[in-house]
Amino acid sequence: MLSRERVQQLCKKSLESIPLGLKDEEWQNGIDFYKYMFTNHPDLRVYFKGAENYTAEDVQKSERFKKQGTRILLAQFICANTYSDPVAFEAFARETTDRHRIYKMDPALWHAFWTVFVNYLCTKTTVDEETKQAWAQLGKDFGDECLAHLKRTGRAY
Ligand code: HEM
């Protein structure tokens, strides 16, 4: 187990490889996330209405995924930056769960997401074993809180 501070430090450091959108190449980091996800996990496209059959090429041309790409990466910055403050981190996990209610996702995805994310990060920079462990720890805590929230509120998703 890494300390919360160490997890935060490692996750934040790894995010330096994907600065967020002002310049074209920064927006591209977000587009690249969905290109990666839709190519390597095409089954997840089912939740993105109207984009169920999108290829990486379709994502590249899409204004929707340009915006959404930076949104999802920003959420990872929020996770890393709040990890040392469990009150904020866990509240963000619950808020994210609530915002996804309409997509009726398989709850297991709250844990599975993080492997997808780290593998995407590996396409951008070298991610060492300790940093992978840090993201795994953060992702487990995030997923645990999402599932606890669903249970507490008596919901399946
Ligand atoms: C939006 C699915 C995990 C943060 C969305 C949308 C879908 C979706 C379908 C709507 C976008 C659109 O259709 O254009 C999923 C799936 C996940 C996942 C299948 C797991 C595999 C996460 C995680 C986070 C997150 C772990 C945060 C840590 C967001 C944000 C938005 C969004 C910030 C923008 C809309 C909003 O803030 O409500 N997601 N999501 N998602 N997702 Fe996820």
Residue 133 domain-assigned (yes or no): yes
Contact 147, 93 (CB under 8 A): no
pLDDT tens-digit series, residues 121-131 = 999 999 999 99
Q: Given a cut of 80, is residue 147 above it in pLDDT?
A: yes
The mean per-residue pLDDT over the stretch 56-73 comes to: 98
> What is the residue-averaged pLDDT of the chain?
97
Name 35's Cβ contacts closer than 8 Å, sequence gap at least 6: 56, 59, 60
Residue 100 domain-assigned (yes or no): yes
Name 2's Cβ contacts closer than 8 Å, sequence gap at least 6: 10, 130, 133, 134, 137
Distance of CA 127 from the midpoint of ligand 1 (Å) = 23
Residue 92 domain-assigned (yes or no): yes
Buried b or exposed e, range 50-73, using 16+ CB within 10 angstroms: ebeebeeeebeebeebbebbbebb
Contact 130, 2 (CB under 8 A): yes
Q: What is the pLDDT of residue 21?
A: 82
Name 155's Cβ contacts closer than 8 Å, sequence gap at least 6: 101
Question: Which residue among 45, 90, 100 has the greatest number of ligand 1 atoms within 8 angstroms of its CB, and so is best to mutate?
Answer: 100
Phi, psi dihedral angles at 100 (to 5 degrees) = -90, 0
Q: What is the pLDDT of residue 157?
A: 67
Residue 106 domain-assigned (yes or no): yes
Residue 156 domain-assigned (yes or no): no
Q: CATH code at 32?
A: 1.10.490.10
* Angle at 125 (CA atoms; ends 120, 129), nearest 5 degrees: 85
The mean per-residue pLDDT over the stretch 66-94 comes to: 98
Q: Helices 63-82 and 4-15 sit at what angle, rounded to 10 degrees?
A: 150
Q: Which residues line ligand 1 (CB under 6 A)?
A: 44, 47-49, 64, 68, 71-72, 75, 79, 96, 99-100, 103, 105, 109, 113
Residue 78 domain-assigned (yes or no): yes
Q: What is the pLDDT of residue 56?
A: 98
Confidence of residue 107 (pLDDT cuts 50, 70, 90): very high
pLDDT tens-digit series, residues 17-48 = 999 989 999 999 999 999 999 999 999 999 99
Residue 157 domain-assigned (yes or no): no
Residue 93 domain-assigned (yes or no): yes
Contact 96, 141 (CB under 8 A): no
pLDDT tens-digit series, residues 86-102 = 999 999 999 999 999 99
Q: Given a cut of 70, is residue 11 above it in pLDDT?
A: yes
The mean per-residue pLDDT over the stretch 67-75 comes to: 98
Range of the domain at 112: 4-151
| Total number of domains in the chain | 1
Phi, psi dihedral angles at 153 (to 5 degrees) = -95, 5
